[in-house]
Amino acid sequence: MTIYDAVSANKRKTIFVMFIFILFVLTISYILSKALGGDGLSFAGAMLIFSGIYTFASYYYSDQIVLALSGAKPAKKTEFKTFFETVENLSIGSGLPTPKIYVINDSAPNAFATGRDPKHAAVAATTGLLQKLDKIELEGVIAHELSHVKNYDTRLMSVVAILVGVVAMLSNIFLRNMWWGNISGRDSNRRDNTIFMLVAVFAAILSPIIATLIQLAVSRRREYLADADGALLTRYPEGLACALEKIASDRHIMKSANLATAHLFIDNPFKSNYNKNWLLNLFSTHPPAEDRIRILRAM
């Protein structure tokens, strides 16, 4: 498999997953809103607009929020010369504006990129990453992060968050109304109405879990795509593969690790045992490091 094949395959898979996700959200929204006595898709559409406005406001300031939560501080060029040169050179190579550069004072090797678009992007790395990786490995990591910026992954994940929010909101409204006895069937066929209500109850309980699993699947797929795109930028997949080996084998846990920002980092900052359990992998924000390394070395 060539690097170009990997990039194309990951893009196709992301589009497919997003299509399934949107179809799933529309189906659940229709079922729950009809059970609530609403107008099906009209009610779901209103929820979608409301969630969109709320998420857009959060998304607009997402970079500032993420940097603050991670304890990132603006890096000084005199102190982190290699870091600056690497980011600047790879930005030129990828045709992107040079993002703002931040450092997190933490011994755990990790890095992330954020920002609503390439003009408002930022790249942050821990001091542990800058100390433990050589120049080639650092290039692999930064190329990966710049690929997230180039592919508008922050924007994509904001759209996914909107869809998850719609499902969670409808589920919550339905279950609250059912608990307080505010739902009554309008269908004259009692048997059919009972079956529909049972379907709605199961949908309300399971849909937020399924939506979250799809959200995590999209996040993992974007990591594979950023790996392939990063390798395409440096023309040297082994650099990122070696970096991932060092990062994954390091036992330090980030002091500023946060569940809200964990999906942004190049590797899970909580250093879990996801790689050893397929079920736990479903709830992971990142693909297993071993799989990523194997794919990179097959390019």
Give residue-wise pLDDT tens across range 20-69: 777 777 777 777 777 766 655 566 666 667 666 666 666 677 778 788 88
The CATH number linked to 140 is 3.30.2010.10
Let me know whether 286 and 223 are in one domain.
yes
How far is Cα 227 from Cα 241, in angstroms, rounded to an integer?
Answer: 9
What is the reported pLDDT for 6? 63
CB 7 within 8 A of CB 225: yes
Residue 59 lies in a domain: yes
What is the reported pLDDT for 278? 58
Q: Rounded to the nearest 10 degrees, how much is the dihedral formed by the CA atoms of 136, 139, 140, 144?
A: 180
Amino acid at 260: A
Distance of alpha carbon 105 from the chain centroid:
24
How far is Cα 293 from Cα 140, in angstroms, rounded to an integer?
Answer: 12
Let me know whether 56 and 77 are in one domain.
no
Let me know whether 64 and 74 are in one domain.
no
Amino acid at 268: N
Let me know whether 80 and 112 are in one domain.
yes
Measured CA to CA in angstroms, residue 146 lies from 28, 86, 135, 139 at distances of 35, 11, 16, 10
Residue 49 lies in a domain: yes
- The neighbour count for residue 4, using CB atoms within 10 Å, is 11
Q: Are strands 122-126 and 100-104 parallel, antiparallel or unpaired?
A: parallel
Let me know whether 148 and 227 are in one domain.
yes
Q: Which stretch of 60-69, 153-162, 184-193, 199-208 has the lowest confidence by average pLDDT?
A: 184-193
Residue 82 lies in a domain: yes
Strand (E) or helix (H) holding 284: none
Residue 212 lies in a domain: no
Residue 48 lies in a domain: yes
Residue 128 lies in a domain: yes
pLDDT score of 250 more than 70: yes
Strand (E) or helix (H) holding 140: helix 135-150
User: Of 138, 173, 205, which closes a domain?
Assistant: 205
Q: Which stretch of 69-83, 243-257, 260-274 has the lowest confidence by average pLDDT?
A: 260-274
Let me know whether 75 and 142 are in one domain.
yes
Let me know whether 27 and 129 are in one domain.
no
Let me know whether 271 and 193 are in one domain.
no
Number of domains in the chain: 2
Helix (H/G/I), strand (E/B), else coil: 181: coil
pLDDT score of 102 more than 70: yes
What is the reported pLDDT for 16? 78
Residue 126 lies in a domain: yes
Let me know whether 137 and 99 are in one domain.
yes
Residue 210 lies in a domain: no
Q: Which residues pair with 265 in a beta bridge?
A: 112
Let me know whether 116 and 31 are in one domain.
no
- Residues marked active site are found at 145
Q: What residue numbers bound the domain in which 94 lies?
A: 70-153+219-297
Let me know whether 162 and 284 are in one domain.
no
- The neighbour count for residue 25, using CB atoms within 10 Å, is 23
Let me know whether 34 and 8 are in one domain.
yes
